[in-house]
Structure 1
Amino acid sequence: MAEWNDADLEKIAAAEELDLASERDNGTLRDPVTMWVVRSGDSLYVHSVKGTDGPWYRGTRSRRQGRVEAGGVRRDVTFRPADPGEYAGVDAAYREKYGRHTSIVEHVLTEAARVSTLRLEPR
């Protein structure tokens, strides 16, 4: 597993939103989708409010890689499903970073959304 360098990790984690473009089977990138991103420990995470049925999430499953851009950083990444043991830290990070959006945060922290949690690993 590749690791983020400290500068990129901090810049992406501080960004309000992240643009994520997954790769199609032919290697081209889909149109980017804007979403929230959080840091837990030394990892970055996203998840789908629509859970595993969300269109952008389904797009990440074909090649499990793509590109993200946030905080002035653009990186090619691998999408790894988070382990259930990571969910509590990710939930806490969402509450801390986006807690001012109370009604939205509660939709992001459902069990359906939780099981779609992806760890973003640089490639």
Structure 2
Amino acid sequence: MRSVNGPDAAWYRGTRTRHEGQITAGGHSEDVTFVDAAADTALNDAIDRAYRTKYRHYAANIIDHITGTQARSTTIRVVPRHSTKD
């Protein structure tokens, strides 16, 4: 996951402060830990390829924005935190 608006985006700053949060999608919520992955070149390259494929019909400047240095510097892994409750 990355912040296409760079490190100044409020949600991204929150991940850097707390390193934990909750993701909700498709009616399911999961407690997660946010782990810095900006130095993972292979991961960043894979995310760039996915964005270029998904947004290939958009203008080049939009693709450059979401795959640029500012966005890549915010790449984080989202790791599920499994509950110990029964």
User: Could you tell me which of 52, 69, 75 is aligned with 1:111?
Assistant: 69
Unaligned runs of 5+ in 2: 82-86
From the superposition, tell whether residues 101 and 122 of structure 1 become closer, same or farther in structure 2 (CA, over 3 Å).
farther
Provide the aligned length of Structure 1 versus Structure 2: 78
Q: Distance in 2 between matches of 1:73 and 1:100?
A: 31
From the superposition, tell whether residues 122 and 104 of structure 1 become closer, same or farther in structure 2 (CA, over 3 Å).
same
Task: Map 1:10-89 onto structure 2 (within 5 A).
Answer: 46-82=1-37, 83-89=40-46
Q: Distance in 2 between matches of 1:53 and 1:62?
A: 13
In the alignment, what sits opposite 1:94? 51
Aligned residue identity for 1:81 = D
Q: TM-score, normalised by structure 1?
A: 0.55
Q: Distance in 2 between matches of 1:78 and 1:97?
A: 26
Unaligned runs of 5+ in 1: 1-45
In the alignment, what sits opposite 2:84? none
Aligned residue identity for 2:28 = V
From the superposition, tell whether residues 104 and 73 of structure 1 become closer, same or farther in structure 2 (CA, over 3 Å).
farther
String of CA shifts for 1:76-99, please: whole Å, max 9, x gaps: 111111123321011112222333
In the alignment, what sits opposite 1:31? none
Q: Percent identity?
A: 45
Q: Which has the larger radius of gyration?
A: 2
Q: Could you say which structure has the higher helix fraction?
A: 2
